[in-house]
Amino acid sequence: MDRQARVAASLDAVHEALRLVRRELAGADGDPARWRWVAVGAVIALQGALVAALSGYETAGDADVADPALPDRVAPIPTLLRRARSSDYLNPPEQLEITASGVRRLERLVAWRNAVVHGGEVGDIKGEVGVGCEEVVRVVRRLLLVHPAFNVSGQGVMCALIADEVAGIERWLAGRG
């Protein structure tokens, strides 16, 4: 897939994933099991944002988002996070600035998502997923809306739709605090 098509597909995935997160958050108070879907959607949005950012530069290639062990697959999120934080892949201001505790929150969210998807015991995930979701929203906002590495001229509508979803999720999370 060429770089521009990968950016467009990633932005579409982010938008759909954020719609899922927002919809599930709206019903999570009445049905705590919906937090599982919040985790799933948040991780999909995170991965999409990282792939879009890492694919944005004209010099970006397939290897920038590929799994080193399985080059025909997208790299796992910890690898994508390392790359997005590295000057080998992105330059400031597009380079992801995130604290070590922010990375840990994202890693825990991914672990919760993996437990959900693979049928593991997840227990009460509301607080953990909520904190991870806040971090995902920060990453999505920075990489796609504030400092995108890709040319936004052809992606204005999708970026506006993502911005709407981000704002709705932020309002919901702020009202829960």
- Dump pLDDT digits (tens) for 66-91: 999 999 999 999 999 999 999 999 99
* Exposure letters 111-124 (e unless 16+ CB within 10 A, then b): bbbebbeeeeebee
* Predicted pLDDT of residue 120: 61
Percent of the chain past pLDDT 70, that is, above it, reads 95
Q: What are the residue ranges spanned by the domains of the chain? A: 3-176
In the numeric block, which tokens belong to residue 61?
């290639």
The rounded distance, in Å, linking the Cα atoms of 14 and 87 is 24
- Which whole number is the average pLDDT over 165-169? 97
Instruction: Provide the β-strand partners of residue 74.
Output: 66
Are 145 and 138 within 8 A, CB to CB? no
Who's near 130: CB < 8 A, 6+ residues apart? Answer: 35, 38, 173, 176
Are 82 and 53 within 8 A, CB to CB? no
Are 111 and 88 within 8 A, CB to CB? no
| Closest C-alpha to 139, from 4, 5, 14 | 14
Percent of the chain past pLDDT 90, that is, above it, reads 79
DSSP character at residue 64: G
3-state secondary structure of 77: helix
- Which whole number is the average pLDDT over 150-155? 94
Instruction: Provide the β-strand partners of residue 66.
Output: 74
pTM flag (> 0.85) = yes
